[in-house]
Protein backbone atom coordinates (compact mmCIF):
# COMPACT_ATOMS: atom_id res chain seq x y z
CA UNK A 1 0.00 0.00 0.00
CA UNK A 2 1.25 3.48 -0.86
CA UNK A 3 0.82 6.61 1.20
CA UNK A 4 1.28 9.65 -1.08
CA UNK A 5 3.14 12.69 0.17
CA UNK A 6 2.58 15.97 -1.68
CA UNK A 7 5.66 18.01 -2.44
CA UNK A 8 5.78 21.28 -4.32
CA UNK A 9 8.95 22.85 -5.68
CA UNK A 10 8.68 26.60 -6.11
CA UNK A 11 10.58 28.58 -8.72
CA UNK A 12 13.36 29.21 -6.20
CA UNK A 13 13.75 25.45 -5.78
CA UNK A 14 12.35 25.43 -2.28
CA UNK A 15 10.87 22.05 -1.39
CA UNK A 16 7.52 22.39 0.36
CA UNK A 17 5.52 19.49 1.71
CA UNK A 18 1.99 20.67 0.96
CA UNK A 19 -0.89 20.37 3.39
CA UNK A 20 -3.52 18.02 1.97
CA UNK A 21 -6.12 20.80 1.97
CA UNK A 22 -4.34 22.22 -1.10
CA UNK A 23 -4.61 19.03 -3.13
CA UNK A 24 -7.74 20.14 -5.01
CA UNK A 25 -7.30 23.93 -5.01
CA UNK A 26 -6.68 24.31 -8.74
CA UNK A 27 -3.23 25.38 -9.78
CA UNK A 28 -0.45 26.21 -7.36
CA UNK A 29 -0.69 29.82 -8.54
CA UNK A 30 -4.15 29.98 -7.00
CA UNK A 31 -2.67 29.84 -3.49
CA UNK A 32 1.11 30.28 -3.65
CA UNK A 33 2.47 32.67 -2.69
CA UNK A 34 -0.46 33.32 -0.36
CA UNK A 35 -2.53 36.45 -0.92
CA UNK A 36 -1.47 37.85 2.47
CA UNK A 37 2.15 38.00 1.24
CA UNK A 38 1.44 39.80 -2.03
CA UNK A 39 2.15 43.47 -2.61
CA UNK A 40 -0.67 45.59 -4.02
CA UNK A 41 -1.12 45.05 -7.75
CA UNK A 42 -3.28 47.55 -9.62
CA UNK A 43 -3.38 45.21 -12.63
CA UNK A 44 -4.33 42.08 -10.64
CA UNK A 45 -1.56 40.01 -12.17
CA UNK A 46 -0.61 36.71 -10.61
CA UNK A 47 2.51 37.25 -8.55
CA UNK A 48 5.21 34.60 -8.46
CA UNK A 49 7.48 33.98 -5.49
CA UNK A 50 10.45 35.47 -7.35
CA UNK A 51 8.47 38.70 -7.75
CA UNK A 52 8.78 39.23 -4.01
CA UNK A 53 12.53 39.84 -4.28
CA UNK A 54 15.11 38.46 -1.91
CA UNK A 55 13.53 36.84 1.13
CA UNK A 56 15.06 36.14 4.51
CA UNK A 57 14.92 32.49 5.57
CA UNK A 58 12.29 33.28 8.22
CA UNK A 59 10.13 34.98 5.58
CA UNK A 60 10.44 31.97 3.32
CA UNK A 61 9.52 29.64 6.18
CA UNK A 62 6.47 31.79 6.99
CA UNK A 63 5.34 31.83 3.35
CA UNK A 64 5.88 28.09 2.92
CA UNK A 65 4.24 27.49 6.30
CA UNK A 66 1.01 29.00 5.03
CA UNK A 67 0.62 26.07 2.60
CA UNK A 68 2.72 23.35 4.20
CA UNK A 69 6.18 22.74 5.62
CA UNK A 70 9.48 23.87 4.15
CA UNK A 71 11.72 20.81 3.79
CA UNK A 72 15.34 20.10 2.95
CA UNK A 73 16.12 17.97 -0.07
CA UNK A 74 17.88 15.42 2.11
CA UNK A 75 14.56 14.92 3.99
CA UNK A 76 13.22 13.09 0.94
CA UNK A 77 15.44 10.05 1.55
CA UNK A 78 13.58 9.00 4.66
CA UNK A 79 10.12 10.19 3.62
CA UNK A 80 9.51 8.70 0.17
CA UNK A 81 10.17 5.43 -1.58
CA UNK A 82 9.43 6.69 -5.10
CA UNK A 83 9.10 10.15 -6.63
CA UNK A 84 6.17 10.44 -9.02
CA UNK A 85 7.31 13.39 -11.11
CA UNK A 86 4.68 15.80 -12.36
CA UNK A 87 6.90 18.80 -13.00
CA UNK A 88 7.39 21.21 -15.86
CA UNK A 89 10.22 23.39 -17.14
CA UNK A 90 13.59 24.11 -15.65
CA UNK A 91 14.42 21.83 -12.72
CA UNK A 92 11.32 19.79 -13.52
CA UNK A 93 11.96 18.15 -16.85
CA UNK A 94 15.52 19.11 -17.76
CA UNK A 95 17.34 16.38 -15.84
CA UNK A 96 18.24 18.38 -12.74
CA UNK A 97 15.61 16.93 -10.39
CA UNK A 98 16.36 13.48 -11.81
CA UNK A 99 20.04 13.95 -10.97
CA UNK A 100 19.19 15.11 -7.47
CA UNK A 101 16.94 12.10 -6.90
CA UNK A 102 19.61 9.76 -8.25
CA UNK A 103 22.17 11.28 -5.87
CA UNK A 104 19.75 10.50 -3.03
CA UNK A 105 19.19 6.98 -4.41
CA UNK A 106 15.45 7.62 -4.78
CA UNK A 107 13.76 6.00 -7.79
CA UNK A 108 11.47 8.19 -9.88
CA UNK A 109 9.00 7.99 -12.73
CA UNK A 110 9.67 9.30 -16.22
CA UNK A 111 12.81 9.81 -18.22
CA UNK A 112 16.32 9.79 -16.82
CA UNK A 113 18.88 12.57 -16.69
CA UNK A 114 20.21 12.35 -20.26
CA UNK A 115 16.84 11.91 -21.98
CA UNK A 116 15.39 14.79 -19.96
CA UNK A 117 18.31 17.10 -20.75
CA UNK A 118 18.02 16.28 -24.45
CA UNK A 119 14.23 16.55 -24.46
CA UNK A 120 14.16 20.04 -22.94
CA UNK A 121 16.43 21.37 -25.73
CA UNK A 122 14.18 20.98 -28.77
CA UNK A 123 16.92 21.99 -31.22
CA UNK A 124 19.25 19.23 -30.05
CA UNK A 125 16.36 16.78 -29.74
CA UNK A 126 15.32 17.38 -33.37
CA UNK A 127 18.92 16.99 -34.60
CA UNK A 128 19.30 13.69 -32.76
CA UNK A 129 15.94 12.41 -33.98
CA UNK A 130 16.85 13.32 -37.56
CA UNK A 131 20.30 11.68 -37.21
CA UNK A 132 18.54 8.56 -35.93
CA UNK A 133 16.36 8.38 -39.02
CA UNK A 134 13.14 9.58 -37.46
CA UNK A 135 11.01 11.78 -39.72
CA UNK A 136 9.99 15.22 -38.57
CA UNK A 137 8.86 18.55 -39.92
CA UNK A 138 11.41 21.12 -41.04
CA UNK A 139 12.56 23.44 -38.28
CA UNK A 140 14.88 26.32 -37.63
CA UNK A 141 16.56 27.23 -34.35
CA UNK A 142 16.95 30.92 -33.60
CA UNK A 143 19.27 31.55 -30.69
CA UNK A 144 18.35 34.05 -28.02
CA UNK A 145 21.29 36.19 -29.06
CA UNK A 146 20.22 36.16 -32.73
CA UNK A 147 16.68 37.12 -31.71
CA UNK A 148 17.77 39.94 -29.40
CA UNK A 149 20.39 41.32 -31.76
CA UNK A 150 18.47 40.64 -34.96
CA UNK A 151 15.47 42.10 -36.70
CA UNK A 152 12.31 40.09 -35.84
CA UNK A 153 10.63 41.13 -39.09
CA UNK A 154 13.64 39.89 -41.09
CA UNK A 155 13.69 36.63 -39.12
CA UNK A 156 9.99 36.17 -39.86
CA UNK A 157 10.57 36.84 -43.57
CA UNK A 158 13.40 34.31 -43.55
CA UNK A 159 11.16 31.73 -41.84
CA UNK A 160 8.43 32.25 -44.43
CA UNK A 161 10.98 31.76 -47.21
CA UNK A 162 12.28 28.58 -45.55
CA UNK A 163 8.96 27.02 -44.59
CA UNK A 164 6.54 28.54 -47.07
CA UNK A 165 3.48 30.71 -46.64
CA UNK A 166 1.07 28.06 -45.33
CA UNK A 167 1.75 28.28 -41.65
pTM: 0.80
Q: Give pLDDT tens digits for 104-122.
A: 999 999 999 999 999 999 9
Per-residue pLDDT, 117:
95
Q: Give pLDDT tens digits for 3-49.
A: 999 999 998 999 999 999 998 888 888 889 988 888 887 887 778 88
Per-residue pLDDT, 109:
96
Three-class DSSP category at 71? strand
Name the residue ranges covered by the structural domains of the chain. 7-119, 137-167
CB 99 within 8 A of CB 113: yes
Q: Report whether pLDDT(167) > 60.
A: no
| Phi-psi domain of 105 (left: phi exceeds 0; alpha: psi -120 through 50; beta: other) | left
Three-class DSSP category at 35? helix
Amino acid sequence: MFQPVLYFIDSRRNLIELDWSYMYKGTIRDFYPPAAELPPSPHHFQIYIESLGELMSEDMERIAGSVGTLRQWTDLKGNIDLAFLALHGEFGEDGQIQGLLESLDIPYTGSGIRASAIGIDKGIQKKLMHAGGFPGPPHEVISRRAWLQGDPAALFTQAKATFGQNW
